[in-house]
Structure 1
């Protein structure tokens, strides 16, 4: 089996499809005579590995090394799902990103709410609905601009509706990773995930699939001391507290409140994916602990990358779509040419109740300035019933990229995309923030001198808006906006973001070792060989009976391990107590509530024509619910009181040396019963040896630094070190193997998600072979 060409040269680089020099398409030769040997590596007599430099494996190594050195090209074609939740302004920048990814041969699916389906498909991308209603979401955000919902929202049930919507979208995001294309029925399994943080499902989907995750967003979401979290309203009021500390704390507070509101929904979602629950101690920070790659799509000219962000975080520039030809409606063209250049006013997808009052304020401000204006009606149809005039024009949808070239200033709600488009065109900007990151962008624009301070919509009156518009029309503001546009003209945020995405991919584990342009999805494993195979390669080898199904297993190109980081014995045991108590309470409540709920449901007919279920069925379901929760109660009681407590104490004692500045080496991950024993061994001998040595070493080390006082401190450290390290070592003998056994048993019992992924990968492989196109130019190394 090989892919053969009528030409001798096989060029692996990207080629123009229309180029005469491009190699012809590779055809699959069905004969099995040319199947390369899979045992390509051998051991020499002295134990060294023999490598044939003419083999495809050596060539792969050269490719991997050169890829590390220069990422100017990319040859592996991936199935990429982009999961985005938010308004149109949140979704639209990713149209440009998806279009750029298509240029590299990737297959791109944009998963978001139904309302944006036409725009996604018009951009040439595949669309997948994750459910949810963006209008309802925007209405909730306007009503509750902060993190804490208002009493009105609580009374009207808004919070529960939002939680239900988020649960729906979580499951929709998972479906977007593995379900068929809804139009073509073509199989799709994600090889990589790009997402914005509010989609929430991203890390859990990536963990279940074992694929890379890359977060991208239009607002800061990573802890920094440079500025506060955009969703936090910091009130220092002359406090002497260091502002950098306050800023960092703001991220922790927002994360904590978000987690508190959604933890049960997220853990229920994780359970549906056969993943272990995330505890409260790590639920607010595991994204940062895992150092998930993050790309921020704003201009570094406007907001430079903070110095305390690591190399896994990039600031690439705003995402703009390629300029396309647009012919404006005649009524817009006539208005633009009928007088002085107008300003633009638009609130995008913001949903407001008092649209008539807001329209009145806008019109009064414009008239008091003696200027002309184009006003976008938006989702709440501003200006309904008001006729257009020579100075005021109400419009529906119109591309900002085109329109902002023809206005003198822009007034809007502060969406990142709209702000970016205004600045790119050198237009001074007034921002009327409603919620979220909008006040943040208003402040950033004002700091750049390209507009006034933001005008919160709750305090908006015609007089203040008129002053803000007048500020935008001054020479100084116009000049600052023009300078910002000049700086941004040298940036290409979309290209930079794609480079960032490619650079952070795990190329070594991602690449198929037979068909180099395809990602590895299977691992072929025998007693002496392991080879990464793509979906197509695996399917071909199976059909040719070169490999057996039992020799293949799903390959995780980027495994995710969420670890419960312990700080000390007290907090770890306290967290164990809270978690165990919550589990026991939930199970005990379930023993009463769920059987009663089954009885209540049984009394309600399924439909007008369908009778209620029989008493036997009802009794069976009620008994099943009782038994299920009784089992959970016993599990929490036994496992919680033995293994979980021992593990919490072992990890807590192990973390104690961090409190006085000592580095605690990693003992590895507990993945199954085998690794549990390994970790216990790694924790035992060094733990006891280090604990004993601390009694004598620490006093003399500290005495050299601080004399007698240091000697006393050293005795204290040595005593604490001996106690904590030996305690962790001894407890770990039970805790880590027990944890490994539990994980192994869980893996044996929880196989639904793994079976679903396996089934989808098989479907994908069969589809690819049936529909193999000759213009793919897949390269096979033989």
Structure 2
């Protein structure tokens, strides 16, 4: 079966699907990934076909609209700013998904950022589609909407808020969906109606987010999908030397988060490390963290988290879905520094699991607050003990197997 995975967003929205694609290919399927040009190399390195989608996500996040999204953080204001940021490039993204599908596809796998448009492309091509989501986005009574960053509003309040956020988020796609349906010669059909019976598998562990009891049928929690291995990657000598010449360092990296003042953020982190008396591994990422190398500080570029995190004392990160998963997989305690959208949700989950003392939000980040959280994380052995127990449990799960089973059911009915 010719399978196309269409995903859009940051590295964390792409990396899990490289590993999933490898599993699908090993099962005998032809697999292509449609995403942004900036991720072409990682897709091809996994042995998968790359099909381009428009938009440079880093440039969008660095734009004036992207900076306003960062300032909005989470909650209704962030959802509104997301609408403003995304609406202008959604038509081009829809055209890109349709064009990628037309290159030869028997099954389309879509993510939360491509599902509304991907369902249109799949309908036009006469093929089935399955959603693969990294966040729990369907309304539920059991927790407040993940992208709002709010605490529980009570069972009724959570459900009402979930429907409100879903309706607002749909508005991000409505003009592009209408235009794409016209272009492809399809009759009008609303996003909510198209979603009604669409199957969705969620790429996180039920240990982290159990499946809500009030979700509709065909919404399932599969387990994590891990990025593809990089067999040709070797750690640079300077990194091996740094790790060997002292106690395990604290990792600090904010992944695909684009910040307006990288120097100020770096200075805050360095001051916190000095106050907490820890060695530091800075990962530059899209945040642009960088410091002069020394016996206590090393700046690194893109480094596989599954190799690096187990060699650290703690992981300070932006609480994106992908980095949260990688930290849990490593058995290393975490200090989340949430900034926007679903990051507060994942931060709260880390605290609930007992692998973190709680978040230090980026908006209120100071050297003193970060240093205090670091010392609490490192001095209380319960966080590391619990982190190792969670990692052991995750190692026994196989989220990709549930996707394979769903694909085989589609193949059998084709």
TM range (shorter): over 0.9
Residue 173 in structure 1 maps to residue 90 in structure 2: no
**Which has the larger displacement, 202-211 or 80-89?**
202-211
Residue 286 in structure 1 maps to residue 193 in structure 2: yes
1:160-309 correspondence to structure 2 within 5 Å: 162-179=86-103, 189-199=104-114, 200-234=116-150, 243-278=154-189, 282-283=190-191, 285-289=192-196, 291-309=197-215
Measured in 1, the distance between the counterparts of 2:268 and 2:218 equals 45
Measured in 1, the distance between the counterparts of 2:325 and 2:241 equals 27
Shift of 1:321: 3.8
SS at match of 1:197: coil
SS at match of 1:507: helix
Q: Which runs of 5+ in 2 are unaligned?
A: none
1:378-527 correspondence to structure 2 within 5 Å: 378-383=285-290, 386-473=291-378, 474-503=380-409, 505=410, 507-508=412-413, 510=414
Residue 318 in structure 1 maps to residue 218 in structure 2: no
Residue 110 in structure 1 maps to residue 33 in structure 2: yes
Closer, same or farther: CA 260–303 of 1 in aligned 2, 3 Å:
closer
Shift of 1:234: 4.1
Measured in 2, the distance between the counterparts of 1:355 and 1:149 equals 24
Residue 330 in structure 1 maps to residue 237 in structure 2: yes
1:614-670 CA-partner distances (Å, limit 9, x unpaired): xxxxxxxxxxxxxxxxxxxxxxxxxxxxxxxxxxxxxxxxxxxxxxxxxxxxxxxxx
Measured in 2, the distance between the counterparts of 1:149 and 1:295 equals 28
1:387-415 CA-partner distances (Å, limit 9, x unpaired): 11101111111111111121111010111
Shift of 1:438: 1.1
Measured in 1, the distance between the counterparts of 2:322 and 2:282 equals 18
**Which has the larger displacement, 159-168 or 118-127?**
159-168
1:699-710 correspondence to structure 2 within 5 Å: none
CA contact (8 A) 2:32 2:50 kept: yes
Closer, same or farther: CA 226–219 of 1 in aligned 2, 3 Å:
same
Shift of 1:277: 2.5
CA contact (8 A) 1:295 1:313 kept: yes
**Which has the larger displacement, 118-127 or 133-142?**
133-142
Task: Count residues with an aligned counterpart.
Answer: 405
Measured in 2, the distance between the counterparts of 1:311 and 1:262 equals 24
CA contact (8 A) 2:83 2:169 kept: no
Measured in 2, the distance between the counterparts of 1:493 and 1:261 equals 29
SS at match of 2:8: coil
1:117-148 CA-partner distances (Å, limit 9, x unpaired): 11111111111111011113333142443476
Q: 1:702 aligns to what?
A: none
CA contact (8 A) 1:149 1:159 kept: no
SS at match of 2:147: coil
CA contact (8 A) 1:114 1:130 kept: yes
SS at match of 2:166: helix
Residue 347 in structure 1 maps to residue 254 in structure 2: yes
**2:11 alignment partner, one of 85, 88, 94:** 88
Shift of 1:292: 1.1
TM-score (norm 2): 0.92
TM-score (norm 1): 0.50
Shift of 1:361: 0.8
- Cα RMSD after superposing both structures: 2.1
1:745-764 CA-partner distances (Å, limit 9, x unpaired): xxxxxxxxxxxxxxxxxxxx
CA contact (8 A) 2:74 2:341 kept: yes
**1:100 alignment partner, one of 10, 14, 23:** 23
Q: 1:744 aligns to what?
A: none
Q: 1:655 aligns to what?
A: none
Greater RCO between the two (CA within 8 Å, min separation 6)?
2
1:709-728 correspondence to structure 2 within 5 Å: none
CA contact (8 A) 2:3 2:29 kept: yes
Residue 142 in structure 1 maps to residue 70 in structure 2: yes
Closer, same or farther: CA 235–101 of 1 in aligned 2, 3 Å:
closer
Shift of 1:164: 2.5
Closer, same or farther: CA 235–161 of 1 in aligned 2, 3 Å:
closer
SS at match of 1:458: helix
1:290-348 CA-partner distances (Å, limit 9, x unpaired): x2111111111222222223442221211124655442100000000010111111011
| Runs of 4 or more consecutive aligned structure 1 residues displaced over 3 Å after TM superposition | 143-150, 158-162, 233-236, 321-326
Q: 1:122 aligns to what?
A: 45
SS at match of 1:105: coil
Closer, same or farther: CA 250–364 of 1 in aligned 2, 3 Å:
same
Closer, same or farther: CA 427–353 of 1 in aligned 2, 3 Å:
same
Closer, same or farther: CA 477–87 of 1 in aligned 2, 3 Å:
same
SS at match of 1:198: coil
Closer, same or farther: CA 502–122 of 1 in aligned 2, 3 Å:
same
